[in-house]
Amino acid sequence: MTISHHPDVATLMSCAAGSQPESLAAVVASHISMCPQCAAEVQKLEQIGVALFDAIATAPVVREAPVVAARALEADEDGSGGRPAEPGDVPAPLVSLVGRSLDEIAWKWLGPGVWHYPIPLSRRAAGDLRLYKLAPGQAVPEHGHGGEELTLLLRGSYRDEMGEFRTGDVADLDDEVEHRPIADATAGCICLVAREKRARFKGLLARFVQLVTGI
């Protein structure tokens, strides 16, 4: 798999800082599980946090060190070392939420040629995370964004104003950008989309769909 569109370095920094909204963080984590280059980059960017933490003005601690049991050490691996995901499979971080296979998603019909599957976030998390499936040649209704939006291609491809996006590619967009992705004419596509806020769909029909589905 050749990945040519990666998240913006500012996005990777926010990821390394642990400061992304949960929905956006999920997409970055999923991309990283498929992209060793970005995984290594985030590890490097964590060093910014380490350097700042290292030199932070300390706060005096009142309590003593906790009492620890001599042999209560975890021997098991934390399971974070992942192999890059195979094309078409669900990225490792999402497997516990949506299962292993993109072929087993319980899609919900959204409109002609468009299906979606909302992924639950933590109760206090704002924003939106969902999978979309587009039929071949299907366009997503034109929309702008409030805040940031991240799209990760999981299968097939789409083309928009920024170029062609294939499996593993990430579209990293902020609120100024309006784009109209069109799924590949043969294969269609499946993608993971995170938004900080609700998308603003344009046009009366699209707005009606938005009203009905709450996207």
Smallest CA-to-CA distance from 150 within 7, 18, 3, 2 is with 7
Report the nearest approach of another protein to the CB of residue 205 (Å). Answer: 29
Answer yes or no whether residue 68 interacts with another protein by CB under 8 A: yes
Answer yes or no whether residue 71 interacts with another protein by CB under 8 A: yes
Report the nearest approach of another protein to the CB of residue 18 (Å). Answer: 4
Contact 135, 189 (CB under 8 A): no
What DSSP string describes 58-98?
A: P----SPPPP--TT----S------PPPPTTBPPGGGHHHH
Answer yes or no whether residue 161 interacts with another protein by CB under 8 A: no
Residue type for 40, please?
Answer: A
Answer yes or no whether residue 83 interacts with another protein by CB under 8 A: no
Report the nearest approach of another protein to the CB of residue 163 (Å). Answer: 19
Residues 6 or more apart whose CB falls under 8 angstroms from that of 72 comprise none
Smallest CA-to-CA distance from 149 within 20, 18, 13 is with 20
Residues in binding contact with another protein, number by CB under 8 A = 70
- Contact mark string toward another protein, 9..48, x via CB under 8 A: xxx-xxxxxxxxxx-xxx-xx------x--xx-xxxxxxx
Q: Which of 100, 137, 174, 213 binds another protein (CB under 8 A)?
A: 174
Give bridge partners of residue 128 from the DSSP assignment. Answer: 195
The contact set with another protein (CB under 8 A) reads: 8-11, 13-22, 24-26, 28-29, 36, 39-40, 42-63, 65-66, 68, 70-75, 77-78, 80-82, 93, 121-125, 147-148, 174-176, 196
